[in-house]
């Protein structure tokens, strides 16, 4: 279980990204965080695995207070949380296989990883993840040879190889075309359903968020203004989150 208690984040330049956030996310949920750019979505997501340290409050994962741990214990925590980025964050000059294998780096000693030695189970696990994502045939191609959607699948495979309990996704489809977007979102839904992995995703597209996520968290100026089922969302709530109602052409459409 993931829990935020009075989380406040103030950046050194004085920007208050989070102003007292309280949240509880149960295992196996598919949560979408929506809100304007700069509302604090990315900060909220990155506070979970301490990619961004919070100013005050508490972030707890299964009873561990993330905000106080560091060093080895922090790395141990991070390796159990997958993360997906808007720009995929692959090493483009490396093969797909090696990129996926990166999900296992934190499981081994520095000495073995120095020489690029990974146990056979890890290699099999990496290939299984690629198989799950349907891109097993691309394993030994350089990552930059793939399309955007395929690269995001590689990133998902990398996250799966960590055998995570939780996957954080920061705008996972924002740089993909509409058709690829639907495919990648389907992949998220499948992972959530088949493996029971909790998914917390920042989303730009409201209709995508409503379609795929079971729960929506709306953020405005660092405060949670809506937290509920996606079926409860109506125009008034969107006005609360975005400051005005969305026009017809601002949603992705079916």
Cα–Cα distance for residue pair 140/247, rounded to 1 Å: 44
Contacting other proteins (CB under 8 A), which of 78, 123, 211, 220? Answer: 78
Interaction between residue 93 and other proteins (CB under 8 A): yes
Find the binder of other proteins among 22, 56, 87, 145 (CB under 8 A).
Answer: 87
Among 94, 174, 246, 252, binds other proteins (CB under 8 A): 94
Question: What number of chain residues touch other proteins (CB under 8 A)?
Answer: 34
Contact criterion met (CB below 8 Å) for 215 and 228: yes
Look up tokens 């125009």; give the residue.
235
Footprint (CB under 8 A) of other proteins, residues 178-217? none
Q: Note whether 225 binds other proteins by CB under 8 A.
A: no
Compute the distance between CA of residue 5 and CA of residue 28 in angstroms, rounded to an integer.
20
Phi and psi, residue 161, nearest 5°: -65, -20
Q: In whole angstroms, what is the distance from residue 18 CA to residue 6 CA?
A: 9
83 is a site residue for other proteins (CB under 8 A): yes
Q: Does 133 bind other proteins (CB under 8 A)?
A: no
CA distance 180 to 35: 22
Applying CB under 8 A, among 39, 54, 59, 155 the residue interacting with other proteins is 155
Q: How far is the CB of 19 from other proteins (least distance, A)?
A: 25
Q: Which is nearer to other proteins, 82 or 218 (CB)?
A: 82
Q: Which of 213, 205, 204 is nearest to 232 (CA)?
A: 213
Strand partners, 173: none
**In the complex with other proteins, which residue's Cβ is closer, 91 or 124?**
91
DSSP code at position 191: H
Residue with tokens 């058709």: 179
Q: Is 64 in the site for other proteins (CB under 8 A)?
A: no
- Minimum gap (Å) between residue 164 Cβ and other proteins: 9
> How many CB atoms are closer than 10 A to CB 52?
16
* Chain residues that interact with other proteins, rule: CB under 8 A: 49, 51, 74-83, 85, 87-94, 98, 102-103, 105-106, 110, 113-114, 116, 155, 158, 162, 168
């Amino acid at each position: 279980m993931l829990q935020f208690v009075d989380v406040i984040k103030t950046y050194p330049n004085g920007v208050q990204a989070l102003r007292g956030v309280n949240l509880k996310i149960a295992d196996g949920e598919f949560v979408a965080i929506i809100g304007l750019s700069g509302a604090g979505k990315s900060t909220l997501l990155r506070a979970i695995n301490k990619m961004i340290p919070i100013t005050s409050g508490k972030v707890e994962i299964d009873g561990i207070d993330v905000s106080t741990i560091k060093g080895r214990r922090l790395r141990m925590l991070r390796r159990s949380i997958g993360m997906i980025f808007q720009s995929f964050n692959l090493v483009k000059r490396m093969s797909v296989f090696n990129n996926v294998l990166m999900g296992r780096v934190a499981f081994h000693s520095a000495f073995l990883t120095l020489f690029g030695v990974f146990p056979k189970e890890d290699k099999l696990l990496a290939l299984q993840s690629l198989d799950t994502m349907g891109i097993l045939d691309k394993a030994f191609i350089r990552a930059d040879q793939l399309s955007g959607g395929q690269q995001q699948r590689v990133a998902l495979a990398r996250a799966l190889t960590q055998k995570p309990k939780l996957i954080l996704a920061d705008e996972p489809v924002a740089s993909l075309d509409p058709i690829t977007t639907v495919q990648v979102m389907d992949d998220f839904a499948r992972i959530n359903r088949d493996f029971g992995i909790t998914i917390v995703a920042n989303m730009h597209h409201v209709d995508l968020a409503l379609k795929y996520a079971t729960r929506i968290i709306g953020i405005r100026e660092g405060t949670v203004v809506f937290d509920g089922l996606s079926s409860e969302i109506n125009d008034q709530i969107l006005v609360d989150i975005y400051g005005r109602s969305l026009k017809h052409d601002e949603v992705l459409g079916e």
